[in-house]
Amino acid sequence: MASATPTAGLRAEFLDEIAYYQQRNMRLAEAMPVENYTWRPAGGVRSAGEVFTHIPAANYGIAGALGTAPPAGFDFKAITALSDAGKPQKMFNRQTTLRGSFLIITGHFGEHLGQSIAYARMNGIVPPWTEKAQQQQ
């Protein structure tokens, strides 16, 4: 059974980063019209919808790679069940530590958030948080 959600330390900081990317991706996905989900910038490249579905699907694979069965639904809390942040770990064919895996995961989220922002802008959609900031100026 997973321990309580941490409020301080490495795990809490990691979960805060995951929450940040999750809310940004969700807001962007909701701002994009459904008909734009099939748009792709070029052949052989993920469509906008495929990027949005890749992100939660990767969470399941990542949880498994870290040695924890993924939880039901899309609530990625497997991180709270892990211990020993310095433990050697292989992630995406790279030798690292559990702590290093956390960094790889947040990098993965940032990569796809940037990709999603570019896709949205190429379709004339301003990210909601940018639009809000522009309206406040």
106 pLDDT above the threshold of 70: yes
d(CA 5, CA 61): 21
This prediction's pTM: 0.73
% pLDDT > 70, the chain = 84
Q: Which residues contact 125 (CB under 8 A, 6 or more apart)?
A: 28, 31, 32, 33, 36
- What residues have CB less than 8 Å from 136, skipping those under 6 apart? none
Q: Which CATH number fits domain 10-129: 3.20.20.30, 3.40.50.720, 1.20.120.450, 1.10.10.410?
A: 1.20.120.450
Query: What is the residue type of 76?
Result: F
Domain range summary for the chain, segments of one domain joined by +: 10-129
Amino acid code (one letter) for 73: G
Would you give the DSSP letter of residue 6?
P
Distance separating alpha carbons of residues 51 and 87, to the nearest angstrom:
31
How many helices (H) and strands (E) in the chain? 4, 2
State pLDDT tens for residues 9-68.
888 888 899 889 989 999 999 999 999 999 999 999 999 999 988 887 776 677 677 777
